[in-house]
Amino acid sequence: MATAPKPQTGTESAEKEVLLRIEGVTKIYDGTVKAVDDVSLTVTKGEIFGLLGGSGCGKSTLLRMLAGFEVPTKGKIYLAGQDITNLPAYQRPINMMFQSYALFPHLSVWENIAFGLKRDGMPKEQIAERVEKMLGLVQLTKFAQRKPHQLSGGQQQRVALARSLAKRPQLLLLDEPLGALDKKLRETTQLELVNIIEQVGVTCVLVTHDQEEAMTMASRIAVMSEGYFLQVGEPDTVYEMPNSRKVADFIGNVNMFEGVIEEDEPDHVTVRCAECVHYVGHGISGHSGMSVGVAVRPEKVMLSKNKPKGDYNWTEGEVIEIVYFGAHTTYHLKLASGMVLKAQEINSTRDLSCGLTWGDKAYAHWSNEAMVVLTQ
């Protein structure tokens, strides 16, 4: 699901040129509503940065401040070292691909793409050349003379991309770029979009509520909630090492156990929960007696009919729901404590031979390295 993990050598990112710097940006509406709360962020050149969060988390407001449609109540925004906080939208070397595209309905595809270039007073031949190039890039050369309403959703999306790239912006903003497409089209378009962006080499800030979209497309993501960042990191880091219950819960599915640390050793920790005792194969920064959450992803939970060996990392329950997805099946196990544990089994053969059915007793177990201990 995630892009290949990149080596995490802190020095490397420091060497890269910082393109966008956001410093303590706050946006307050009507004097009371804090849409964005003291957010700071740097985005390096060539990066695709994803802002991920539910509706009303402030991600769109932040994007609109980058585009210049909103002015921050507090804080500064720098682009390539220049303060652009109060620069109006039409003077910023930033272009945006709008949610549901906002293509001008009275203009043809060609004129839509040329719109920004004409405003810059570019000579006619150069405009024609650039528009042709853009049309080629998004494979819409044949459709140049059509009006937006004569195109399919996927084609409109590509026109919107071409229009936002035509001026060669320093920064490209994508607002829910795939939100208006159906699922199948979305998967192919995701990769196509990333390919085009990488081909052009433009730095991107992407806003989405779809975690899959953020993880496939972005090289780094920020999980946003109530106007601030919960966690910023590479997609695999955020998925496998969430820093809080909120992030673990927002990104993907998770089984959350609540418990207390019993043993706290440098090489392992045990956490006693109502359902089971977790044996975590690494040390954590906590102390015995501390209340913690233990998060286990459903795909890391294995099911069997036989009781697992040992005292740790297993529990038992009754199968109350079987959700078949084709490639995998999710089993819902009702535990004695009342908690419903989800386990995702890959359907590696065609006979679905896990052998479990509704009402069966089953044991769920997981490895020492499957879980994340969350202190907040």
Partner 1 sequence: MAQSKNAFLNFFSGRKLIIGVPYVWFILLAAIPLLIVLKISLSTMETASVSNMIDWSRGWPSLTLNFSSYQFIASDALYVKTYLSSIKYALITTIICLAIGYPFAYFMARAPKHIQPTLLMLIMLPFWTSFLLRIYAWKTLLVNNGIINNALMSLGVISEPISMMNTPFSLIIGMVYSYLPFMILPLYANLSKLDVRYLEAAADLGTSPLKTFWLVTVPLSKAGIIAGSMLVFIPSIGEYVIPELLGGPNTLMIGRVLWDEFFSNNDWPMASAVAIVMILLILVPMALLNKSQSDQAEIKP
Binding residues for partner 1, per CB under 8 A? 67-69, 88-91, 94-96, 98, 100, 102-106, 115-116, 119-120, 142-147, 150, 163-164, 167
Minimum distance from residue 324 beta carbon to partner 1 (Å): 41
Residue 90 or 325 having the CB closest to partner 1: 90
SS3 label, residue 17: coil
Q: N- to C-terminal Cα distance for the chain?
A: 26
How far apart (Å, rounded) are the C-alpha atoms in residues 95 and 174?
A: 9
Minimal distance in Å, beta carbon 129 to partner 1?
18
Q: How far is the CB of 60 from partner 1 (least distance, A)?
A: 12
Q: What share of the chain is helix, strand, coil (3-state, %, to 5)?
A: 25, 35, 40
Q: How far is CA 242 from CA 41, 233, 297, in A?
A: 19, 10, 11
d(CA 185, CA 192): 11
- CB neighbourhood size of 23 (10 A): 17
Q: Which residue, 142 or 350, is less far from partner 1 as judged by CB?
A: 142
Nearer to partner 1, 70 or 345 (CB): 70
Q: How far is the CB of 95 from partner 1 (least distance, A)?
A: 6
Six-digit token pair at 147?
Answer: 């009006």
Q: Residue 141 gets which letter from DSSP?
A: G
Name the residue nearer to partner 1 (CB basis): 205 or 294. 205
Q: How far is the CB of 123 from partner 1 (least distance, A)?
A: 16
Nearest distance from C-beta of residue 67 to partner 1, angstroms: 6
At 241, list the tokens.
Answer: 């090492």
* Minimum distance from residue 13 beta carbon to partner 1 (Å): 29
The crossing angle, in degrees rounded to 10, of helices 109-119 and 153-165 is 20
> Which residue number, 66 or 248, has a Cβ lying nearer to partner 1?
66
Closer to partner 1 by Cβ: residue 151 or 273: 151
* Three-class SS state of 59: helix
Question: Residue 254 has which token pair?
Answer: 């998770």
Nearer to partner 1, 91 or 306 (CB): 91
8 A C-beta contact, residue 148 and residue 156: yes
